[in-house]
Structure 1
Amino acid sequence: MCLVLEPWAAIILAGGRGSRLGGVDKAGIELGGRTLLEWALDAVIDAREVVVVGTPVPTERPVTFVRENPRYGGPVAGMLTGLDALQRMPAYVGVVAVDMPHLNHGTWRRLLDAAAGTDGARLVGPDGHWQLALALATARLQQVRPDYEGQHDHPLKALLAQLDLTPVLAQGREHEDIDTWEDLRDS
C-alpha cells in the first residue's frame, strides 16, 4: 500500500551524452525489444505527470519533453529543468535516470512510502551505493534549490546532502544501470 496518497510526478533524465557508450542516446537503446525510455515510462506508470528531459521521441504515454538548461548540464540541471516543466507542482516528485530498466511501479511505491513525511528517499544498492532513483518532497527541494542557470555539472551529491533522504534497499536488480555495452549485455 502506498502511503503517499497525493498524486506524484516523475522526471526521467534522458539528456546525457552516453559517453561510455560512444555517444549513443541511452533512451533509444533497446533491451528485450523495448527502449530504455519505454522501460522507464512503464516504471512510473502511477505518476500523474511525466517530464522527460531529453530528445523528443514518439511515446505511447503523453509526456512533456524538455531540454536541460544548460544542455548536457548534468543531473541537477536536468532535474530542476524537469521540475520547472511540470504543469502542477505535486507534493512529491520521482527522479530517475533513463538507464535503470529494472525499476518498476513497486520500486516507486516503496520509495514514495519511505519519503512520506520526510525530505525524500533514495534507492540504495546492495553495496550501499545510492542510485539515481529518488522520491523527493518538492517543497523541500525548492528550499535547497541552487541557482544552476548556465552552470554545468552542479554536484548532485552536494544538493542531496542538504536533504534527509531515507535509504530504500533495492530488490533484485532494481539498482542496476546501463553505463557500458557490457552492462547492456549483462542485463
Structure 2
Amino acid sequence: MRRSGLFAALSAFALITAACTPEKQIVSTPAPVPQPVVNSSPYVCKLIPEQAFRTISGITAPLVERINGTENNGDCRAPDASTPRLGVWWAREGSGMPREHMDFLMHEDRRPLYSRYGGISLPPDLGDGMAAYVRSAPFADQPYRVSALFRCGAKERMIDIYLPQVAKGRDAIKDMIELMRIAQKRYGELYNCTPGK
C-alpha cells in the first residue's frame, strides 16, 4: 500500500511538473510603429498629400476629387459614390467672407461642437482651432474633424478637414493635427503667404 501511494505521488508530481513546464517560450512582438504623416505630392483637394491621407485613413480605393468655389472660398470632396472619403473647406477673409463671420464659424459653430465631443485645441502655431471625433448625425459620415482659423499674410484664413475613418492603431487627433499643419503650409505655398504671419 505504501509503495502504491508513493508511486501515485511521484506520478502526480511528474504530471504537474510537465504541465507547468512550457514547451515553447512565448515571445512577445512589439506593435508596429505607425508610419509618420509626411508632406509629399501628389495632393488631393489642393491641400492634402494623397499618401498622408491614405496612411491616416487606411483607404486604398481610387480618389476622384470635386472642387467647388474659388481660391478665396471653396470646398473639395473626394467621393466614393455618395459617401465622401475626404472633405476640405477653405476660406479667406475678404469680400463675401468678413472676419466676423469667420469668428462666428470658429467660436459659435465648430468650437462648441468639437468641445461637446472632447475635442482637443490645436497647438498655438496653427492658430485658433480644434480636432475632434464627432460621432453624431449629421457628421457620422465624416466624424474625424479638424478646423483652424489662422493668419496667412495680411488676412485671416480658415481650413476644415473631414475624414470618414482612421486606420487601426493610429492616433486620430495627433494625425489630424499633423494633417492641418501640412494643409496650412501647402495653402501658404499655393497662395503666396506665410501661415502664422
Fold match, TM over 0.5?
Answer: no
Structure showing greater Rg: 2
Q: TM-score, normalised by structure 1?
A: 0.29
- Which of structures 1 and 2 has the larger relative contact order (alpha carbons within 8 angstroms, sep 6+)? 1
